[in-house]
Chain A
């Protein structure tokens, strides 16, 4: 029983990692908390659904979802944050602006889906269950874990092993100096937001498949879980977010399995509260969360 829960926990963690990595990446680079990230995640699931419904193959839907959510994320950055960064009000303004973007995206999705819960046609993903060592693992779970792993590796490769990653870090350190070196910060930001949105969109498709249930508010709980994960990992830290996704995914799975239902959310958010109190920079972050602050 416990082993089964651990397996389920690992699969869930992978999805959380996809969601949280983009969330924390954007914060690390621009110090903006993009609250539209949950809506972008939901858009991924919706796009995949409509592609499949129109007769497209699932893999096509998956790719379209990734591209669409990536582009949507870039669009949100341009419309909501670009101007705010110039005025230097991105911390407060970014939260307000992205709440607005999330509302708009979700309402459009509500219109498009007619407030219905959408379900993929039966056997869109083949239902195959493997049994070994007393565990039950579905093909879908394997696919989810595999997809998460591959995407996380791609992101890691991009950030740590390519010239793109170096430019991202240059812009993060000092936007002005990076510009003098011939780096166009806006281009870097667009690429970063594309990556962040694409990962969230992929997570959306996986969650949509796993529960076979897609609706316009499905992003909200994930946004909340995303908060917990990126705080736990230290705002802006990629390795931190990975570790925290695992801790959170496991913790949540076990909480649901062993605690009275209905109390899960309370426990999760109380935990977030305690983390903020005692380790506000997270498991691995170095950021100061509560210093006396100067001008703003």
Chain B
């Protein structure tokens, strides 16, 4: 079974430990949670997985592919998509353009064809446009296709980001605090979408602050504090773990 696997992942900044010996398995078809109080090192983990921060020690694998030291842009090709903590859309571009850029990984027309505007490149653009439109319809946003992404409501922007991640047809999706700043109705809508990802067989790594939300969605939860894992298991197990309670309440 394919799996996104972090083993003994460590990061030191000089002498400061940002994360140490972190082992996380994200199996396909399930939602795996990673929680922890502020400053626990969640962002460091995200940045290491996505190639934005060099790994000090340990490895990251997607299936059999080692992506530990892969440059950021090759990680998408290995089958991992991500969303950002603060939504990051191309705000000058329209909604559909934002989704279309997600298909980059699957664009195959040659550079020469793209430079010269040959029919093969034009066909590919048409094709991608249709697929992006299909995604927009699936997310009930077809009406907004031509609008500048920067002007949308927060909830809609989050959906655009999800579509962009989906467009690359990833095997794994990394969600970095996806419901921050959302109300209950909006976050329930997103929860449905995340369940859909898992039902499609994708592995989801959900990094969240909101423990309640994670408990509701995840089959397995990891808890990070001070850069180390302090607990793992089912949501029930983790939430009743004394170490976790202490970490969150600052005991």
Which residues of A are at the interface with B, using a C-beta cutoff of 8 A?
Answer: 292, 294-295
Contacts and interface: CB of A to CB of B under 8 A. Distances in A.
B88 A292 contact: no
A295 B72 CA distance: 17
B52 interface: yes
Contacts of A295: 88
A294 B52 contact: no
Interface residues of B, number: 3
Contacts of B52: 292
The 4 A-B pairs of least Cβ separation, nearest first, read A295-B88, A292-B52, A292-B72, A294-B88
Contacts of A294: 88
A290 B52 CA distance: 13
A20 to B, nearest CB: 32
At the interface, is chain A mostly helix, strand, loop or mixed? loop
Contacts of B88: 294-295
Interface in B196-243: none
A295 B90 CA distance: 9
A47 B88 CA distance: 51
Contacts of A292: 52, 72
A294 B86 CA distance: 11
Nearest to B51: A292
B84 to A, nearest CB: 9
Nearest to B73: A292
Nearest to A294: B88
Interface string B52-82: 1000000000000000000010000000000
4 contacts: A292-B52, A292-B72, A294-B88, A295-B88
Nearest to B90: A295
A295 B88 CA distance: 8
Nearest to B84: A294
A295 B52 CA distance: 15
A295 B91 CA distance: 9
Nearest to A291: B52
B52 to A, nearest CB: 7
A292 B52 CA distance: 8
B23 to A, nearest CB: 28
Nearest to A295: B88
B68 to A, nearest CB: 18
A15 B52 CA distance: 43
A295 to B, nearest CB: 7
Interface string B78-100: 00000000001000000000000
Interface in B3-53: 52
A292 B88 CA distance: 15
A294 B90 CA distance: 11
B212 to A, nearest CB: 30
A290 to B, nearest CB: 14
Contacts of B72: 292
A291 to B, nearest CB: 10
B250 to A, nearest CB: 26
Nearest to B91: A295
A292 to B, nearest CB: 7
B14 to A, nearest CB: 14
B129 to A, nearest CB: 25
B92 to A, nearest CB: 11
Interface string B110-144: 00000000000000000000000000000000000
A293 to B, nearest CB: 12
A92 to B, nearest CB: 14
B151 to A, nearest CB: 16
B138 to A, nearest CB: 28
A93 to B, nearest CB: 15
B114 to A, nearest CB: 24
A294 B88 CA distance: 9
A57 to B, nearest CB: 57
A294 B84 CA distance: 11
A294 B87 CA distance: 12
B176 to A, nearest CB: 14
A148 B63 CA distance: 65
B98 to A, nearest CB: 14
A294 B91 CA distance: 13
Nearest to B52: A292
